[in-house]
Structure 1
């Protein structure tokens, strides 16, 4: 009797182990699914537009923060179908990618956990494709539908007029009063669509789609004050998302002034890796734009070295960040060594894009040298310090002198 009970207990225990193993496997599958984006595409017509050839390869392309297109994966379509599987890191943000390899445009889609279904009616016109099946892609389709309805309203009006006037339509349409009416119809439809899009974005202000659309489509049409209010209307949940940071930078860059916050530029460091200006909050920062080929910049270097040497005791609350507008890495690094700027805790950065640097453009840098003194809260103290005045002013502030004079932040113009 005891042996039977032992056998039954052993069988039950074995079943429990099997059930537990199955549960763990299932949980692993769920975890894998949560961290994977599967893109399943189908082209109903898979020929190119400007050549009779068929599509040979489709690329999954990412836009980096400098708006450069980087192919991250590729597949060969089979009978008009293709699949991408992209593993996502924990907490990886939802970002807009492109399907490329066509000769007349691309397909936009968000890469995020889940299965994205892409349908392309005609590969010769890929912009007519649609991605759906995941939250941000579905939301993007709803947003684009507002614009499509705007176009449809204008087309429907035109069709009604054509049906009404028949063969005399062109003559009727050529009259000034009818031309004015057509312009009015189009303008009214665009205003209504813009209002509907703004309302839609406000209603979904926790989606990464929103700061992206605000930056790319909406903000150029609005006043500075209105754009600032749009930024404040976004959910705090988005604050760490790259699209929030990018839109916030655009808003800050609209008005560079003493007392204002600077855009949070990226700093690709000379030793590798990168930081942002935000990483230096809590310290006074002297942001120095320069270049190895710039004579006036070289004449400023001794003053920077003097300032570095005379603020040794304040290293925990003051830092010099030199951002080079060089586009040749060798010249940049050689200049740092040659001019003895390669000192501990003196940060050197460059994106090696010269005058095409987004950081320089965003901060209104049109000539070098250019120094910007920033307080620990990220507010601009000055845009114009040079030479002995720079050394003296920084030392005075570190010794306790007021960083801002009366009226600072209101009267000084962007320089």
Structure 2
């Protein structure tokens, strides 16, 4: 039996107080076509055993990423995660831990967050990193808000190579704040003139590298133009393994670096939970969202860890908070930190080299299939191919043959006229046999 503590009169009083006519008005920002018009078509009641069987049949229709040749990327990547990672994060002191409101009590938690921040700073080439965001997309949105606070401006310029989901998050947050967002058209060939969009009203320029289409971008001239106009450069990545091979954004004079850390230590997990990486120049440290752990010594001179900054609404006045993200992705951070520690600097670099080599081998092989063109001049472990037919059709056909061939660009950019483009990712998990099977199946489908 449902417990409804409010009467109709209570609800009317609440609606009148906030100035709306009915409950539906509270959902006015949700697109009408996304709202349910009727209850979900489910049976009123089923026994537990029946429900288990129904869900098992539904689950059996999925194709597990580890069961077939897998070339899907577009922001979430299949990598090998050592068994040690899962073993350690499932220890009770990690799995159930949460930093309390007297954070220094949780020395173990603070220590691995400190180590994580150190790793992220080294990877990105930045001076300071926080203790994580929810994921890369929300981190990007927070980076734009941070740039607005630093520059006292409210105009963001988004590259056409930025992941569409990341751009959507930025636009959603900006709409609520009445900020201006200039979004360039999808940039398959990385030839956009983003420099022309930067002016004295620009707060920040958001550029992804490797970008959504796999292209590597030179950030230095963009940083120079942005700084000449008093704006900040926000460098974004969705594949953190790329930082083992490419010039770090910090060495290209980025002001804020943000991206997705899922590739290290974290499985695909049906899209989450993931871990957002966030780093910046130290002069902007007090404007960073989230929280930051530091190292110190206690009263006895022993090494200790503290929650140095936590400018979020639970700790300070709400209007002074830098973020509405209330916590860090602690367990995912720990998985990232363990995996990075196991790899070490040499291992991480070697992992990046293997990823790139596998992708180059696959690109060369696909380019030999009649009707297929590889569009990238440069890439890390993901690239875009042009097909003679809609990519979505071909992906479905190959999936029926037991090969997950990639992500159709039209899935993430519908209506952009890019139906014949396919994003293909190849990581260290792909073998010569996987690549041969993909190429053979594609050639057969296009014959």
TM-score (norm 1): 0.23
**Whose RCO is larger (CA < 8 A, sep 6+)?**
2
